[in-house]
Structure 1
Amino acid sequence: MWYFLALALLLLAFRKRFSLLALAVAVGMGVYSGILDVRALAWMAISVALIALHFRLRQHARLRVITEALLVLDALALTLHFAPGFHNLKMLDAVVVSPASVPFTLYYNADKALVPFVLAGCINTLFIAPVAWRAPRRAWFVLAASVPALLCIAVALGGLKFELHLPGWWPQFALANLFFVSLAEEALFRGYLQQRLTQVIHPLAALAASALLFGLMHYSGGPLLMVFAALAGVIYGLAWMWSGRLWVATLFHFGLNVCQLLFFTYPALRAW
């Protein structure tokens, strides 16, 4: 199921028919394996109906505002795991990367993986949008360097510690983090939220707002994680703003997470 779901997400930006075919196969396998039950199927059916209605109302701007709001709420519910009927697969259960790291549990989230599909149904520029702010090449080098720099700041603040490790479950982590975490979150916060805000306010204000909300989404990790996530959101937001490409922001997001896993305590420093 998970490989077909990842393939569907990979194809969504440029081969929608093949993407939907791969998604259909993934859903079928999810039902067969018990990951999706009848409530999840009902939720997805309602989502499809909302997307179809949103498309049919393309000549009715006011009504489309309502259907778009409902689709965004749909995506938010999937992101926060509020949608019923999804029995996400636990791949790792409280593993410890290193003695200084807190235990880490890894899920393959079928609900969160659906977020890009839902948002692509209400905004056709989700993956490729007009460039809001062009940056010189040297700015991209600075932005790439800011990824390890931010992690070093977290070390200085006592949230992380330098450590080298390559766990045997690295491939499972990479698949889940790229497609079922980074892409889903970037679709919501950059591809949709920052893009929509950019249409009504200054691009920098839109970037700041989306980054702050991204930080707030990590409230369960405490104040330091919220600040760290908000600063990371600025990096991802700049990557989106300068490129207009959702996958560029996603790769920055994924790159930061991988960099932390390989060179720092993960997901956080254990409090002794």
Structure 2
Amino acid sequence: MWGVLSTALFFLPFNRLIAWVILAASAGMGIYHQILTPLGATCLAVIALAAGLRHRYHAHTGLSVTLEVLLVASSLALFLHLVPGINNQLIVDGSKAGPLSAPYTLRYNFDKALLPFLLFACLPTLFNSGKAAKSVGNLAWILLILCVPLLLLLAVALGGLKLESHFPDWILPFMMANLFFVSMAEEALFRGYLQQRLTQWLGAWPALVIAALLFGAAHFPSGMLMAIFATLSGLLYGLAWMWSGRLWVPIALHFGLNMTHLLFFTYPFYQHP
């Protein structure tokens, strides 16, 4: 079912109808495999109804604004795993990528994967804003990409990571989960929706900073160093969105950073002896 859910997310930017049909199929499989309980399926059906109404009544009316607020609140609840009746599947349980790495647990999060669907219903330009907020040259893009390993090396200098290469046996499940259920979901929320909406209200640069700070705050439960690291990485992803106007660019940068982290550094962080 997770491959089916990933396929739905893949089609979402290109054909919303096909994506929702495939999502419905994955939800049915989730009910069969008890990933979704009857309560969870009912909650998601109500949220899906709100998304359908928001897509139909997209004009700036009181109803559309109310539905958008409801969908954003539902997205935050799904992001924080607060919607009842969803049993996210445990894939990796306390595995160590390497001798210096802390134990790592991976779950396939059905709830978090739904964020792009709901936010796309709120904001039709979620995946493509139509134009870049700020046009830059090739040198700026090269420097931005180079900041990915530099940011990880900064984490090494601060003691949060160590250099350590690995290729764990769970790398393929990690790649699928990280691309669709982490990078795509988080970038849809923080860059595609929040940064884009804030840009409309406050301008490009305040939106960039606020979205990055909120992204860092979302990682605060993992510690202050992780929150700082997430804020800095959020600035990189935010620049990628601001310079391109296309969501796939920060998604690719986010996924690339996470893969570089796993392959060449302690993952998810350095565990002191």
Q: How far, CA to CA, are the matches of 2:222 and 2:245 in structure 1?
A: 30
Matches within 5 A, 1:121-160: 121-129=121-129, 130-160=131-161
- Corresponding residue number in structure 2 for 1:27: 27
User: What is the letter of the counterpart of residue 44 of structure 1?
Assistant: L
Q: How far, CA to CA, are the matches of 2:60 and 2:154 in structure 1?
A: 49
Q: How far, CA to CA, are the matches of 1:66 and 1:220 in structure 2?
A: 30
- Corresponding residue number in structure 2 for 1:208: 209
Q: Name the TM-score, length of structure 1 as normaliser.
A: 0.97
User: What is the letter of the counterpart of residue 161 of structure 1?
Assistant: K
- Corresponding residue number in structure 2 for 1:69: 69
Quote the offset at 1:123 in angstroms: 0.7
Count residues with an aligned counterpart: 272
User: What is the letter of the counterpart of residue 127 of structure 2?
Assistant: F
Over residues 242-262 of structure 1, what are the superposed CA-to-partner deviations in whole Å (9 max), with x where a residue is unaligned?
111111111101110000000
* Stretch moving more, 258-267 or 130-139: 130-139
- Corresponding residue number in structure 1 for 2:193: 192
Residues 68 and 225 of structure 1: is their aligned pair in 2 closer, same or farther, counting only changes over 3 Å?
A: same
Q: Which runs of 5+ in 1 are unaligned?
A: none
Q: Which runs of 5+ in 2 are unaligned?
A: none
Q: How far, CA to CA, are the matches of 1:99 and 1:62 in structure 2?
A: 56
Runs of 4+ in 1 over 4 A off after TM superposition: none
User: What is the letter of the counterpart of residue 117 of structure 1?
Assistant: F
- Corresponding residue number in structure 1 for 2:103: 103
User: What is the letter of the counterpart of residue 235 of structure 1?
Assistant: L
Quote the offset at 1:22 in angstroms: 1.4
Q: How far, CA to CA, are the matches of 1:262 and 1:253 in structure 2?
A: 14
User: What is the letter of the counterpart of residue 87 of structure 1?
Assistant: N
Q: How far, CA to CA, are the matches of 1:123 and 1:164 in structure 2?
A: 40
- Corresponding residue number in structure 2 for 1:9: 9
Q: How far, CA to CA, are the matches of 2:57 and 2:178 in structure 1?
A: 35
Q: How far, CA to CA, are the matches of 1:127 and 1:55 in structure 2?
A: 15
Q: How far, CA to CA, are the matches of 1:62 and 1:165 in structure 2?
A: 53
Q: How far, CA to CA, are the matches of 1:151 and 1:49 in structure 2?
A: 42
Residues 6 and 266 of structure 1: is their aligned pair in 2 closer, same or farther, counting only changes over 3 Å?
A: same
Quote the offset at 1:17 in angstroms: 2.0
Q: How far, CA to CA, are the matches of 2:140 and 2:105 in structure 1?
A: 36
Q: In structure 2, the residue corresponding to 1:110 is in which secondary structure?
A: coil
User: What is the letter of the counterpart of residue 109 of structure 1?
Assistant: N
1:242 aligns with 2:262: no
Q: How far, CA to CA, are the matches of 1:57 and 1:142 in structure 2?
A: 42
Q: How far, CA to CA, are the matches of 1:254 and 1:243 in structure 2?
A: 17
- Corresponding residue number in structure 2 for 1:48: 48
Over residues 158-195 of structure 1, what are the superposed CA-to-partner deviations in whole Å (9 max), with x where a residue is unaligned?
00000111111110000000000110000000000000
Over residues 25-68 of structure 1, what are the superposed CA-to-partner deviations in whole Å (9 max), with x where a residue is unaligned?
11111111111111121111111221233234334523322211
Quote the offset at 1:218 in angstroms: 0.6
Q: How far, CA to CA, are the matches of 1:59 and 1:122 in structure 2?
A: 11
